[in-house]
A and B are shown apart, each in its own frame.
Chain A
């Protein structure tokens, strides 16, 4: 990921100040996310529900 791409992501997340001060932390965070994303199975099955499924609060 280029410095420009990282700067754009930081701006979108409202993290410009932190990115300017700790650029290596931001790069490490993005690498961590990419690692997790690579191991996360993605499935578009419309019948699958997340855990916990939404429950209507009792009146």
Chain B
């Protein structure tokens, strides 16, 4: 058995049965990291000694009392905008190299209390917005399916590390799709929970009213187990996983990827195949129309510009040379934004949220594209810029509804294809049920990148 190949749930079951030690699991993950990270650049820092001490403590406690939770002894990676006490939170930036977190972020404290082990901090786009970039203190993470390609972002290292089986789970953050983008490009599961379900304290903000913290995992069950802890056990999000798709009403938002932003043909075909599979599993699919994708994107980007500007104003004025060029270009609009545009965006947000809520009065879930294209080549700046905004994730940052991305196929180039499901506010149990139902019926769950 290679413990690094286990899903979180599989590892947790073996740990609970005393057939796998947290130390064995961590050491195997560390070997995997050592073998691959020079090619993938998923980590900006590996915290070996501290993680080993935590794994040994977990091993001893589990031997005495059994596991505290399914996460006890499980290695979890942290995007490097999330505070881990005693370690820098660099945000992948020259501007934060000398920062040291005084305490854990609230979500990290919850994971630590559940027994999770933290083997390191993971690569991100600078400040969760500027990337991929080659003019930063750390190189950008690369896609395990093909290292010439971008792994998605901004939670790039989280996506790469989980897909490459370096870790069973990682945390990312999602302001315009940054958990779901790497999930879509790396062929794993990325969950953006409802706004405010997971605390953001101790997470470096990009845009407070759009920011969400979410898990990246290899399976839907693992995402549910992570959310149980991350949400402070608000509910047991695994409770509906066995119910499958039968009887669920799913609204297929085809116009997002057919009319608003025509998707790559292979992505479009995989979405049609996924819809057909969901119907075959007993879901009732119907077409749903929402406001145009461009309108959601404009509202998201305008609010993001306004909210990020207050955090970066001083640095942009005094240390602009310390940002990557792409970060500077993406943050600068906030300092030039007319207040009236921001207010129009905030007023339009009310209407867009109402439109999505109205759709959820007719259906239980929405099925949409996540990315419109497979991963771009990372060094092809023009292609990265072209494909970066070609996505349907921002609507659910604008509205705050929960959304999940998972694999829906492989392109002819061997790169992951993806879909997205969204649910009414705080209906994560239903969302995870449907995603698990699809995952179980589709053949993609056990596909691994060739690295």
Contacts and interface: CB of A to CB of B under 8 A. Distances in A.
Contacts of A40: 295, 298-299, 302, 341, 344-345, 348
Contact of A18 (B298, B320, B351, B353): B320
B298 A29 contact: no
Interface in A19-50: 21-22, 25-26, 28-30, 32-33, 36-43, 48-50
A51 B333 contact: no
A33 B305 CA distance: 9
A36 B294 CA distance: 9
Interface string B297-327: 1110110010000000000110011000100
A29 B333 contact: yes
A51 B346 contact: yes
B426 to A, nearest CB: 16
A22 B320 contact: yes
B347 interface: yes
A9 interface: yes
A35 to B, nearest CB: 8
Given A17-B317, A40-B295, A41-B344, A51 B332 contact: no
Contact of A37 (B317, B341, B346): B341
Q: Which secondary structure dominates where chain B touches chain A?
A: helix
Contacts of A9: 336
A14 interface: yes
B341 A51 contact: no
A13 B344 contact: no
Given A36-B298, A37-B341, A41-B344, A15 B350 contact: no
Nearest to A38: B298
B56 interface: no
A29 B332 contact: yes
Contacts of A22: 320, 328
Given A13-B336, A41-B344, A18 B302 contact: no
A52 B208 CA distance: 12
Most B-side CB within 10 Å, residue of A26, A30, A40: A40
A18 B317 contact: yes
Interface residues of B, number: 33
Nearest to B320: A18
A31 B254 CA distance: 29
Nearest to B346: A50
A33 B350 contact: no
A25 B332 contact: yes
B327 to A, nearest CB: 10
Contacts of A28: 329, 332
A26 B325 CA distance: 11
Nearest to B353: A51
Contacts of B305: 33, 36
B350 A39 contact: no
B320 A51 contact: no
Contacts of A37: 298, 341
Contact of A41 (B295, B320, B325): B295
A9 B332 CA distance: 12
Interface of B: 209, 294-295, 297-299, 301-302, 305, 316-317, 320-321, 325, 328-330, 332-333, 335-337, 341, 343-351, 353
Closest 8 CB pairs of A and B: A50-B346, A39-B298, A29-B332, A51-B349, A51-B350, A40-B298, A39-B294, A29-B333
Given A29-B336, A40-B345, 10 more contacts: A15-B317, A15-B336, A18-B317, A32-B333, A33-B305, A36-B333, A40-B295, A40-B299, A49-B350, A52-B209
9 contacts: A15-B336, A18-B332, A22-B320, A36-B301, A39-B297, A40-B295, A41-B295, A50-B346, A51-B349
